[in-house]
Structure 1
């Protein structure tokens, strides 16, 4: 079995935690790292997060800790921290780099400081660039490697009141789209994982904080649109269309196990038509008109549709549970 070392950023919760645990507890033990001796194999997957958060991952990993999982300190906004982390890995050998660390920001831009906006770009864009910049030369020398970025459908389609977060995802999508051509020449694959809404503690905290925030720096109409239309619709969308971190981890596992990994992979098929709107009409009119009507004119229809989808998904879930109880897969 081919040995693989996987390095994941941002494993304290959500997608990163689910993915770290899934790989570490892989029953087939497909992820191994060849260490100092040529014929000595130790099951090991390398993960990264700050020490203050490692207890949660240690508890979730269970028996896999120190066997298939090693926790290392890493700050994606600090080049020295990145360099030290990579140097601590035997021969700096990383087969798969999964860039998951990220932060969110929602709301009217008048209520957000430039410093807050820079913070989003520092983590979501430059954090990924720093990681890739550090591991790419080694992958080029070996002529092998896989760089995975947990992006978003918002890297393809702008969403109202997510201006800066969307900008950070657009930036990393453009960066990877440029990089992938060069990387392929060195037999290095680049993959963008593009989820829609994912129900995590982090995501829910962002929305809870948004409900209590001060919007006096914008006009009353914009504040009303954000709090009474956007936040309300977002809750309905998350409860109807949202995936779990475990869903995204499963999709990511399939991508990294593919012989020729795809460049883009959307985890939620419901969003594919939405992201295709801009390509259907190069002028942008179809996309902007569709979203404008969805937000401001067909609010009631949107909620009825979401309730129907939620019911269908619930019924499908119950059917799968029943099938498993009967011994079907």
Structure 2
């Protein structure tokens, strides 16, 4: 069987880099990876990580998901424009009070996270339809299932991604094309680190004092605790994504972090949505001590599992 061509976006760091390298170093050599990024000046880390796979089972190309011309140029450079698997990973984050965000910045988030995916699908889907084969893998988020405090815009962009893919998946199956949404929770990447560093310095003068205090003294410290208790590495998410890609019957939705499943389950347990909203409100504003204690317990259990080779890994 010939190697399948996989195009991965957003490969300069984080999940995209880890996934591109993991696929390129597949022992069975099942993949030819086209690892793309908006700025080729940031290719050095990927080149170092790829090692012998570079220019063998992995090649690096420029692709800006916000530019139709860039997408077409990249695809036209691939023999017969044949893409067996698209991994849409490029994304942009945004946190903070919505009244402190400019409309231009909000549009930029949607242009990257939602319209970037749409541009790629518009170009790649027709070719997959003609071949009656293909797999579109989309790096979504658990925040595409439920909203989270001070993640209004980012969550909205991922909700859009989820709705787009859920609708498209029905049509795609008629052409033997699978669509899979990968839904990580917190992930330790440079993407996340910079996001929170910028948030800690953001101008909050456009919001009221209570909201500013809530963001600085409640949300940001809580987020750090959640990341340390529940966070995954980019390599871990990449490993889960490879399992989806190599599955005989790929799932439509796949959550990479079992610890986060109870949170997302609330969304589907009550059609009114009250259970989900009330639970998160009480966790944050009424039962913060219990929430903190739970996170500390999870962190302890994960530490023990990592230091006990025979134990169960969380």
Aligned pairs for 1:65-214 (under 5 A) are 65-214=54-203
Q: Cα offset for 1:253?
A: 0.2
For 1:144 and 1:267, how far apart are their aligned partners in 2? 25
For these two proteins, the number of residue pairs brought into alignment is: 311
Alignment partner, residue 273 of structure 2: 284
SS of alignment partner, residue 94 of structure 1: coil
Residue 45 of structure 1 pairs with residue 57 of structure 2 = no
Q: Deviations over 1:13-56 (max 9, x none)?
A: 1100100111111222121xxxxxxxxxxxx3211112111111
Q: TM-score, normalised by structure 1?
A: 0.93
Give the Cα–Cα distance (whole angstroms) in 2 for the partners of residues 284 and 247 of structure 1: 31
Residues 143 and 158, structure 2, Cα contact 8 Å, conserved in 1? yes
Equivalent of 1:218 in 180, 203, 207: 207
- Tell me how far 1:79 sits from its aligned partner: 0.3
SS at match of 1:45: strand
* Structure 1 residue 321: Cα displacement: 8.4
Residue matched to 1:19: 19
Q: Tell me, in whole angstroms, the C-alpha distance in 1 between the residues paired with 2:262 and 2:199.
A: 28
**Mapped partners of 2:119, 2:10: distance in 1:** 14
Q: Which deviates the most, 133-142 or 1-10? A: 1-10
* Alpha-carbon offset, residue 170 of structure 1: 0.1
Matched residue, 1:227: 216
Supply the distance in 2 between the matched residues of 1:97 and 1:252 (Cα, whole angstroms).
12
Q: How far off its partner does 1:172 sit?
A: 0.6
- Following superposition, the deviation at residue 322 of structure 1 comes to 9.4
Whole-angstrom distance in 2 between the partners of 1:306 and 1:322 = 20
Paired position in structure 2 for 1:34:
none
Q: What is the CA distance between 1:125 and its match in structure 2?
A: 0.1
Q: CA deviation at 1:102?
A: 0.1
Runs of 4+ in 1 over 6 A off after TM superposition: none
Identify which range, 9-18 or 275-284, moves more after superposition: 275-284
Within 5 Å, give how 1:46-61 maps onto structure 2.
46-49=34-37, 50-61=39-50
Q: C-alpha deviations, 1:234-289, integer Å up to 9, x for none?
A: 00000010000001000000000011101000011122221121221111111111
Larger radius of gyration: 1
CA contact (8 A) 2:267 2:273 kept: yes
Superposition map of 1:297-312 within 5 A = 297-312=286-301
Q: What is the Cα deviation at residue 229 of structure 1? A: 0.5
Q: TM-score, normalised by structure 2?
A: 0.97
RMSD, aligned α-carbons: 1.2
